[in-house]
């Protein structure tokens, strides 16, 4: 089986005696990552029922993860297991099935699937570029980014100091710290996320508000933010824009020189961007 980076891997072992009957025993498990290092601490093993034992771990890096069950007591046994973990590619906005439906291509017709999907991937990445490298999916797990609480990232008004941050799509695991790699990091708790109720509305957190002077008095200290970056959900306009652009790219294969036409209405030069696509994503473009 294959899983993705960030997935929780649930594993199970059944202990049987010489007659094939389930029996209880002392069971431990050791998990080894793709780098050959033993996972520490080892996953805890729980008894699910008679002779049935469960454990789990999070696959944090791509590659093959292996584990060894060791059983002692009424039964002595060593059993190996493995799972391949991949680092998934960025998702598309919209699906191949939706694109085929837009193009009036029957689902059972697989002839052009590879080419259509390639255009859908290209369209999704182009939308991100057009929006200022903004991406609209949510990271599977948290990661840290370090920013400076100064310059264009810091806004001051009567409400306090606003630190502008990259899109944060979830408060799960959100951790804000100040300091430096040399001096260490100290957690900050006196902040509010903005805009208000952003995640409830399907929008990302884009700023952290502290009382006036809260960020600007840090001096040379930096801010380390650990979060799940991205958007809580893909906006419907982004999905529609991606499908429109993918369909346009699919048709462009018939006009590789940038000129399209027919005997009926002559030739025209194909514009670089569809105005409907631009209108759909206009409010998501970072300034």
Q: Please, what's the largest Cα pairwise distance for the chain?
A: 85
What does the pLDDT read at residue 1?
55
pTM of the model: 0.70
Residue 27 to residue 12: CA distance in whole angstroms: 11
pLDDT digits over 142-187, tens only?
889 988 887 888 888 888 889 999 999 999 999 999 988 788 899 9
Residue 54 to residue 81: CA distance in whole angstroms: 13
Mean pLDDT of successive 10-residue stretches along the chain, which has 287 residues: 82 94 96 92 95 94 92 93 87 94 94 94 95 91 86 86 94 92 88 94 95 74 91 96 94 64 46 85 91
- Please count the other Cβ atoms lying within 10 Å of the Cβ belonging to residue 214: 20
CA 135 remoteness from chain centre: 10
- Cα distances (Å, whole numbers) of residue 80 to 31, 34, 65, 165: 10, 15, 11, 45
Enter the CATH code of domain 2-86: 2.60.40.10
- In the chain, where are the structural domains located? 2-86, 96-135+234-254+271-281, 143-229
What does the pLDDT read at residue 219?
64
Backbone angles phi, psi at 168, to 5 degrees: -115, 125
């Amino acid at each position: 089986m294959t899983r993705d980076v960030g997935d929780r891997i649930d594993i199970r072992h059944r202990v049987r005696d010489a007659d094939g009957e389930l029996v209880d025993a002392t069971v431990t498990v050791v998990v080894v990552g793709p780098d050959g290092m033993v996972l520490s601490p080892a996953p805890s093993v729980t008894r699910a029922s008679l002779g049935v034992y469960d454990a789990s771990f999070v696959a944090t890096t791509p590659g093959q993860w292996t584990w060894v069950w060791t059983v002692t007591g009424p039964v002595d046994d060593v059993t190996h297991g493995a799972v391949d973990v991949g680092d998934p590619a960025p998702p598309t906005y919209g699906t191949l099935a939706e694109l085929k439906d837009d193009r009036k291509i029957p689902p059972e017709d697989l002839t052009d699937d590879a080419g259509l999907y390639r255009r859908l991937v290209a369209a999704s990445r182009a939308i991100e570029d057009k929006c200022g490298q903004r991406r609209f999916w949510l990271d599977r797990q948290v990661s840290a980014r370090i920013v400076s609480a100064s310059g264009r990232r810091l806004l001051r008004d009567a409400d306090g100091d606003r630190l502008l941050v990259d899109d944060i799509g979830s408060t799960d695991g959100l951790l804000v710290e100040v300091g430096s790699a040399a001096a260490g990091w100290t957690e900050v708790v006196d902040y509010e996320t903005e805009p208000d109720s952003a995640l409830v509305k399907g929008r990302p957190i884009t700023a952290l508000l502290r009382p006036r002077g809260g960020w600007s008095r840090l001096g040379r200290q930096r801010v380390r933010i650990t979060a799940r970056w991205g958007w809580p959900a893909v906006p419907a306009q982004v999905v529609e824009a991606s499908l429109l652009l993918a369909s346009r790219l699919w048709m462009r294969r018939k006009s590789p020189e940038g000129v399209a036409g027919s005997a009926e209405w002559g030739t025209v030069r194909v514009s670089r961007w569809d105005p409907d696509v631009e209108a759909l994503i206009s409010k998501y473009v970072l300034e």
